[in-house]
Amino acid sequence: MKIHYYPGCTLKQKTTALDISTREAMKLLDVELVEPQGWSCCGAEYPLTEEKIAGLAAPIRILRQVRDEGGDVLVTTCSFCFAVLKRADKALRDDPLKRKRINAFLKDDIQIDPLTKERTTGFEDYAGEVKVLHLLEFLRDRIGYPRIRDRIQRDLKGLAIAPYYGCRVLRPQKEMEVDHPDAPRLFEEFLEAVGCSAVDYPFKQECCGSYLSVSLPAAATEASYRVLRSARMNGARAVAVTCPLCFYNMDHRQDAIKEAYLDFPGIPVVFFTQILAWALGVDKTVLGLGEHRVPADGVFSEIPATEVRT
């Protein structure tokens, strides 16, 4: 199976572990990931201004490129990228006037091939031909959990993992259409499919602090602490995330959390794709564990693979 895959900027720079583990896992599930040619940043934040449509240009260009390459599905792992692409696509599907305006705005686009320097113009209007899926959705709806279970090489039974949805994957519900925002099961079902025990805890949909880690770091520290403490108190061995910023706030800034809350002993934070790749037999040396500030080797140890793949 060949599928278009949008890694986004952060996965190419700061959190390559999320990108690498995604690619390793998909190879073992017979999925070939194809990046849209010449992709750019999606914009990181979905623009909420109704009148100014320039903020939709970047995500719509990406979706249009996927369509022009013959794709009708685009998969991403980053929660921010997913929210921007999904909401931009839905905005054009639902609003004919907005669709007309953004396509008119992009009419004079020029694309230059990085190798041949050939210039391409005259793109057809984008009308919502591409379906945007989070990788968790893709695993559930396109790969299927039975197929994943058939490929498992490591028995993760007893590994208690707390799924962390954060803000972007589920809300706003009418636009994201992934799962119920107050009682989701998507992440839990994934963890159970790969053999883990999914830990239920009350803070799995609460914000980690997001960009407050830049402007009000104390507020982000408190928000992340509540999530991590709740997961640990409910028996989690580690917290699994999908979002690079959530990973930064809860892993990279965990020293600040420990300084602010002296009774907190810490807990590893991992990407869900690292767990998937590990379960499928990927050696932990290629999971990008060196990017973690809180050592996560213990989460990926002492479980031999039936057939370890490197």
Confidence of residue 304 (pLDDT cuts 50, 70, 90): low
The mean pLDDT value for 196-225 works out to 96
- The whole-angstrom separation of Cα 186 and Cα 164 is 11
For 133-156, write each residue's pLDDT tens digit.
999 999 999 999 999 999 999 999
Q: What is the DSSP string of 282-307?
A: B-GGGTTGGG-SS--GGGG-S---SS
Sort residue 127 into left (φ over 0), alpha (ψ -120 to 50) or beta: alpha
Q: How confident is the model at residue 49 (pLDDT cuts 50, 70, 90)?
A: confident
Asked whether residue 63 carries a pLDDT value surpassing 70, the answer given is yes
CATH architecture of 2-132: Up-down Bundle (1.20)
75, pLDDT greater than 90: yes
pLDDT at 25: 99
pLDDT above 70 (res 50): yes
pLDDT at 217 (0 to 100): 96
Output 306 or 65, whichever has higher pLDDT: 65
What average pLDDT does the segment 184-208 reach? 97
Q: Name the CA dihedral angle for 26, 27, 29, 31, rounded to a multiple of 10 degrees.
A: 70
Provide the pLDDT confidence category of residue 52 given band limits of 50, 70 and 90. Answer: confident
Q: How confident is the model at residue 308 (pLDDT cuts 50, 70, 90)?
A: very low
* 117 pLDDT more than 90: no
Instruction: Give the per-residue pLDDT at 84.
Output: 97
Residue 184 pLDDT? 97
Rounded-to-integer distance, Cα 17 and Cα 22, Å: 8
Pick the CATH number of 154-300 from 3.40.50.11810, 3.20.20.220, 1.10.8.60, 3.30.460.80: 3.40.50.11810
What is residue 150's predicted lDDT score, i.e. its pLDDT?
97
Q: Where are the domains of the chain?
A: 2-132, 154-300
Q: What is the pLDDT of residue 37?
A: 92
Q: Which stretch of 105-109, 124-128, 268-272 has the lowest confidence by average pLDDT?
A: 105-109
For residue range 84-103, list pLDDT tens digits in order. Answer: 999 999 999 999 999 999 99
- Determine the Cα–Cα distance for residues 154 and 283; give it in Å rounded to an integer: 11
Question: Which pLDDT belongs to residue 310?
Answer: 45
Q: Is the fold of 2-132 the same as that of 154-300?
A: no
pLDDT band for position 307 (50/70/90)?
A: very low
Gap between the Cα atoms of 95 and 104, Å rounded: 14
User: Which is more confident, 214 or 48?
Assistant: 214
Peptide bond into 172 cis (omega under 30): yes
Confidence of residue 169 (pLDDT cuts 50, 70, 90): very high
Give dist(CA 45, CA 33) in Å, integer.
24
Per-residue pLDDT, averaged over 212-228, amounts to 97
Q: Average model confidence (pLDDT) for the chain?
A: 94
